[in-house]
Amino acid sequence: MAMKTNKTQCVICNKDKITYLCEGCLKTFCLMDLTKHRQILNEELHHIINDYDQFKQRFGEQKPNPHDLFLINEINQWEINSVDKIQQKARDCREIVIKSSQTCVNDTEKKFNDLNEQLKQFHSDNEFNEINLNYLRTELIKMREELDNPSKISIQQDSQSFINEISIISLEKKSNFNKWKQNAVTIAGGKGKELNQLNRPEGIFTDKNKNIFIADSYNHRIVEWKYNAKDGQIIAGGNGQGNRINQLSQPTDVIVDQQNHSIIIADRGNSRVVQWFNQNQQILIDNIYCYGLAMDKFGFLYVSDRATNAVKRWKMGEYNKEGIVVAGGNGQGNQFNQLSFPTFIFVDEDQSIYVSDRYNRRVMKWRKDAKEGAIVAGGNGEGRNLNQLSYPRGVIVDDLGQIYVADSRNNRIMRWCEGKEEGEIVVGGNGEGDQLNRPMGLSFDNETNLYVADYENHRIEKFEVIV
């Protein structure tokens, strides 16, 4: 019997020898060639160390990037311009105050001289009575009051900035605009009232588990569609159209209150906002012609009120009080402080409010505590051009501040960057039909897949993001 050996072929000399495995390249070497292999590796390590030392020296001598210096110079120039503008405004205001004060002094001095002349006249002529004395006394009192309270002006601070605001934008992040597959996946619906059907869905809400809550408007119910489910589950309403506490009437929007995991519903047909929690119901806000809902990170509830053309805000637990108007509320119109039939709304991290201003064919942004809004999408009349909208509905904003709008009558979803004159079509825009037909509510999941309530097609469409 031959003696068993552990000899194998060396990868270098190709001879059968006792070999050793290199765990890095997974090749076998005889002892002599392994030593050479280790020497080569050592030399490569020294090359890397030399490269590192050279880079370290270069890094230590690195001068500021010319582009960064340009940006810093631009910021410095913005600071100078802004300070100049503020100083000029202060000079103008001081001049107004000084002129006003001088005018008041001049007026008082003139009245004083007139009164002095009258006193001399009465005294020299010795012709006066009680009426004359009362007149003189009254005039003297008036002059004293004017001297004690000379200024008829005050300072009013405007919440709107009159200097240009600047911010730093990452070009890498900004250039990475998301795109979506143009062919959607239907994840819920088909016209009808069964659990696997919908009838003109409007508002939608997607939670962190990709479960979708749907305002199934003409079925007068709220349906939760679990992720990848074949049919939905009625979690509110579904007891026929009506105004009983367990009924709904054409609900338009739904959100999930993250504090207590209840759902809040814009019960449009009953002019109320209701809360459902484990099949228990309560009316939060009554007598409001509600349409859209939103909740900020502090738990404030926002409701669009079509009757007053306003968006109102309520503090949690104070729904019995009158809401605070935070957008619009100055009558129906197209001025910057007005709205005309506000529908869906969105509130960002800074508590800025985005409103789909339906009849004005625009989306307005109202910063916190602002007296006026700014047009951030549309506002150029009704049409199909890239700078126009037609009866906008759903509105959401992504982490980059890009605004997505359901351009309902144009059957498309638009994306607008604030400050740009035109938007771009994200999906749709091919006319009424199989793709989109009067889109309403919009929502993103945690992977930025886009969900659209396809109103006239009675379904929820999912447009998958292209990674």
Q: Give, for all 467 residues of the chain, the pLDDT tens digit.
A: 333 456 888 888 988 888 888 888 888 889 898 898 889 889 888 888 888 888 877 777 766 666 677 778 888 888 888 888 888 888 888 888 888 777 777 777 777 787 777 777 767 777 767 777 777 788 778 777 777 766 666 777 665 666 777 766 654 444 457 899 999 999 999 999 999 999 999 999 999 899 999 999 999 999 999 998 999 999 999 999 999 999 999 999 999 987 788 999 999 999 999 999 887 899 999 999 999 999 998 889 999 999 999 999 999 888 888 899 999 999 999 999 999 999 999 999 999 999 999 999 999 999 999 999 999 999 999 999 999 999 999 999 998 899 999 999 999 999 999 888 899 999 998 766 568 999 999 999 999 999 999 999 999 999 999 87
Q: Are 345 and 353 in contact (CB under 8 A)?
A: yes
Q: What are phi and psi of 160, to 5 degrees?
A: -80, 125
- The DSSP code for 297 is T
Q: Are 47 and 56 in contact (CB under 8 A)?
A: no
Q: Are 393 and 358 in contact (CB under 8 A)?
A: yes
Pairwise CA distance, residues 369 & 122, whole Å: 60
pLDDT at residue 1 in the model: 34
Arch. (CATH architecture) of 180-465: 6 Propeller (2.120)
pLDDT at residue 2 in the model: 39
pLDDT at residue 24 in the model: 81
pLDDT at residue 6 in the model: 66
300 contact partners, CB below 8 Å, separation of at least 6: 313, 314, 315, 316, 347, 351
Residues forming beta bridges with residue 294, ordered by sequence position: 302
Q: Are 366 and 373 in contact (CB under 8 A)?
A: yes
Please give the span between the terminal C-alpha atoms of the chain, in angstroms, as a whole number.
63
Q: Are 263 and 282 in contact (CB under 8 A)?
A: no
